[in-house]
Chains A and B, each alone.
Chain A
């Protein structure tokens, strides 16, 4: 019993799982400054969660919270401008000059994710980026596995549509 209710050692949790949270945040947000905010918000959310109920699996909870917080940031990042063109995103978050076209594709995916309904974006990230099973996602989100499949399907369709429109608009702009 003592174990279950003992005081949480946040230093050791940040030490142990910080790498996981950081990699999710960096990958989804694409720059260190935003990732740092996401990192801290993720642990603060985990802390608040721990006050309500005991955390059984820190990696599972933290990876989900990091994903949700990162998606929140992606959405808020694009809210003020609300411009569909990927160039604006690149301008907002300038990367190194040597970024290849393929990296821009990753950036376009970030932009597209910010335009999905949050639940669909979360399911997509948990499945396609974090590699969780349908069952695990269903358990995390408290929904049925079928619902995970439906949300994932919808997310994929929408993302494909968004990515294609971006590519088309790119092509148009490079035409003389």
Chain B
């Protein structure tokens, strides 16, 4: 309760009650707009694509999809080709005589990353080879349950194999297959044009608001010579020409085996269906490619349960659904997943902005509002019948999209209407799940720790910044020595206050920093690496020889770190570890591990040695 006699409260009240005009004088507003207009005349507007593609995480996640290419886009907008009937006169009849074909593909985009021109050889609907103009070769094999893409870079002798677990079997929805679906009645004749002395007959087909096809056919062969597909809403046009039907190519050209001599990188993307299961905040953070959020419990929330499940909307991706049951009988579901990506959600700004919190969180309507709410609630009720009974599904249900200030997108569905105040409270309770929290709570992390020494090398912005010998006694106690012994640092973060002793042996000076605002804490780099060693949910990199030792590689990427660890095949202990701090543009490399030499306690004492001139600093200043 505010003390009304308190002079500060009185002053604040006076200030907030000061009458001010509702807006600036017109000349002030005009002058401001004029200045801004003048400034923006010379400004370069930010390019969102550039920002997105500069992110290492996004590049990593997008790589396989880019290789699979533009064809997926057709499938999304044009529908499935499975079971389609064909009826488009002689052209379609002729096309049906061929099962394989080759064409040249060029893509022109108004915005976005450039797609290089390529020759595409379709052996069948599930297997193709792409020869890119830069010399790269892609093989895409979607015949099995686990689809495989192979990207060969002959010039660099490098290969990237991406396994898309559970992605197949699927048929390639290539443009020519879509062309076969045109119906005579809805295909417009365009007349003729001459190309290389040949008269071609044109056809146009616009099946929906997304795809606009123009096909030029050789009247003699009754086969396409040129096809142009405009993706109107994507600002993208695909040109296909140089068709060859029944091309001759050795079957080995479609093999996903890597030729000898190539350096191979293997990536795994998991599309397999998962049984719904309970997950913790740290599970979510480690599995999402963007910032993960957890709900902080508010007084009106009776139950909060978070589960991992397959997206009920059929995107085949994993999503994390947090169910919140309120004391007034409402069930709310907050959904987050990698599919909720700014690139895919371009339609959001065209929706109605329903709420904007003072903290900058925006909520937008959803075009499939009630249907999606039903899917999410049904899926949650199926996994957690005790949380929500689907019989109670209400007609008031709704879905809104949440756009966090850092551009992370989540969705909110609720079974019943909610007041703006409550929605605001709910979304403001979303808290970023931080790396540190995850690492400290890692159940098997600290137990695995073994005292050791190693060499730590730090690269900032790609350049060598420092190199030290580091002795880790525990997760909270370490000693760092410069190679020339010009400086020794001992970090004791095991207690509060934390103590850091810096020794200058040459000048016999000691500086003791006592941090009352730190500790007890654990070294986040060591914890992150321990987490990466949990083989079950890290990506396997295969076996390599590191410093003469046979080592197995594991990699774990999250929104903050890209961690690679090479572990001795015999002992399981690290041989080399690398942490890329994605947001800090800094790379830490740990090598030359020694787990055998015993580390004497005295090396870690934060007490000034005899004969040293000691200076003590406390933080915050006492």
A108 to B7, CA, bound (A): 11
Residue pair A14, B357 in contact (C-beta under 8 Å) = no
Taking a contact as CB atoms closer than 8 A, the residue among B15, B21, B25, B49 that contacts A1 in the complex is B49
Smallest CB separation, A151 vs chain B (Å): 12
Q: Counting CB contacts under 8 A, is B155 at the interface?
A: no
Q: Counting CB contacts under 8 A, is A23 at the interface?
A: yes
Q: Counting CB contacts under 8 A, is A85 at the interface?
A: no
Q: Counting CB contacts under 8 A, is A115 at the interface?
A: no
CB contacts (< 8 Å) of A53 on chain B: these are: 46
Residue pair B25, A105 in contact (C-beta under 8 Å) = no
Residue pair A14, B20 in contact (C-beta under 8 Å) = no
Taking a contact as CB atoms closer than 8 A, the residue among B12, B49, B359, B405 that contacts A129 in the complex is B12
Taking a contact as CB atoms closer than 8 A, the residue among A14, A27, A133, A139 that contacts B18 in the complex is A27
Q: Counting CB contacts under 8 A, is B407 at the interface?
A: yes
> Quick one: given A40-B31, A106-B14, are A159 and B8 in contact (CB under 8 Å)?
yes
A43 to B29, CA, bound (A): 10
Residue pair A139, B11 in contact (C-beta under 8 Å) = no
Taking a contact as CB atoms closer than 8 A, the residue among B8, B112, B428 that contacts A136 in the complex is B428
Contacting chain A: which of B32-40, B555-563, B608-616?
B32-40
User: Looking across the interface, which residue of chain B has its beta carbon closest to that of A135?
Assistant: B428
Interface residues of B in 1-59 (CB under 8 A from A): 6-8, 10-12, 14-16, 18, 20-25, 28-29, 31-33, 35-37, 39-40, 43-49, 51
Q: Counting CB contacts under 8 A, is A149 at the interface?
A: no
Residue pair A5, B36 in contact (C-beta under 8 Å) = no
A135 to B361, CA, bound (A): 12
Q: Counting CB contacts under 8 A, is A94 at the interface?
A: no
B interface residues, tally (CB under 8 Å): 56
> Quick one: given A2-B235, A105-B11, are A43 and B36 in contact (CB under 8 Å)?
yes
Residue pair B11, A130 in contact (C-beta under 8 Å) = no
A5 to B407, CA, bound (A): 14
Residue pair A106, B25 in contact (C-beta under 8 Å) = no
CB contacts (< 8 Å) of A11 on chain B: these are: 33, 37
> Quick one: given A22-B23, A136-B428, are A163 and B7 in contact (CB under 8 Å)?
yes
Residue pair A26, B21 in contact (C-beta under 8 Å) = yes
A86 to B39, CA, bound (A): 39
Taking a contact as CB atoms closer than 8 A, the residue among B24, B358, B429 that contacts A130 in the complex is B358
Smallest CB separation, B348 vs chain A (Å): 8
> Quick one: given A1-B343, A57-B405, A108-B11, are A44 and B359 in contact (CB under 8 Å)?
no
- Decide if the interface of chain A is mainly helix, strand, loop or mixed: helix
Tell which of B14, B403, B428 has the most Cβ of chain A within 10 Å.
Answer: B14
Q: Counting CB contacts under 8 A, is B111 at the interface?
A: yes
Residue pair B12, A128 in contact (C-beta under 8 Å) = yes
Smallest CB separation, A98 vs chain B (Å): 13
Total number of residue pairs linking A and B with CB closer than 8 Å: 172
A1 to B43, CA, bound (A): 19
Interface residues on chain A, size class: 35 or more
Q: Counting CB contacts under 8 A, is B360 at the interface?
A: yes
Smallest CB separation, A113 vs chain B (Å): 9
Taking a contact as CB atoms closer than 8 A, the residue among A27, A105, A131 that contacts B20 in the complex is A27
A134 to B511, CA, bound (A): 36
Taking a contact as CB atoms closer than 8 A, the residue among A40, A44, A60, A110 that contacts B28 in the complex is A40
Taking a contact as CB atoms closer than 8 A, the residue among A109, A140, A164, A167 that contacts B15 in the complex is A109
Residue pair A40, B48 in contact (C-beta under 8 Å) = no
Q: Counting CB contacts under 8 A, is B350 at the interface?
A: yes
Contact with A along B340-358 (1 / 0, CB 8 A): 0011001001100000111
> Quick one: given A39-B28, A135-B359, are A109 and B40 in contact (CB under 8 Å)?
no
Residue pair A109, B14 in contact (C-beta under 8 Å) = yes
Interface residues of A in 151-173 (CB under 8 A from B): 156, 159-160, 163-164, 167
User: Looking across the interface, which residue of chain A has its beta carbon closest to that of B429?
Assistant: A135
Taking a contact as CB atoms closer than 8 A, the residue among B32, B112, B235, B356 that contacts A39 in the complex is B32
CB contacts (< 8 Å) of A60 on chain B: these are: 358-360, 405
Tell which of B10, B15, B235 has the most Cβ of chain A within 10 Å.
Answer: B15
CB contacts (< 8 Å) of B10 on chain A: these are: 102, 105
> Quick one: given A51-B43, A109-B11, A136-B359, are A14 and B16 in contact (CB under 8 Å)?
no
User: Looking across the interface, which residue of chain B has its beta carbon closest to that of A44?
Assistant: B35
Q: Counting CB contacts under 8 A, is B552 at the interface?
A: no
Residue pair A27, B8 in contact (C-beta under 8 Å) = no
Q: Which 3 A-B pairs have the closest CB atoms?
A: A136-B359, A57-B360, A60-B360
Interchain residue pairs with CB less than 8 A apart (30): A1-B111, A2-B111, A2-B235, A6-B45, A18-B32, A19-B22, A26-B18, A27-B15, A39-B32, A40-B28, A43-B35, A47-B39, A51-B44, A51-B46, A53-B46, A54-B48, A56-B406, A60-B360, A60-B405, A61-B360, A103-B14, A105-B7, A105-B14, A109-B8, A109-B14, A128-B12, A129-B16, A133-B428, A140-B360, A164-B7
Extra 13 A-B pairs, beta carbons < 8 Å, given A5-B47, A5-B49, A106-B15? A1-B111, A5-B48, A8-B40, A8-B45, A10-B33, A10-B40, A14-B32, A35-B24, A51-B44, A59-B356, A129-B16, A136-B428, A140-B360
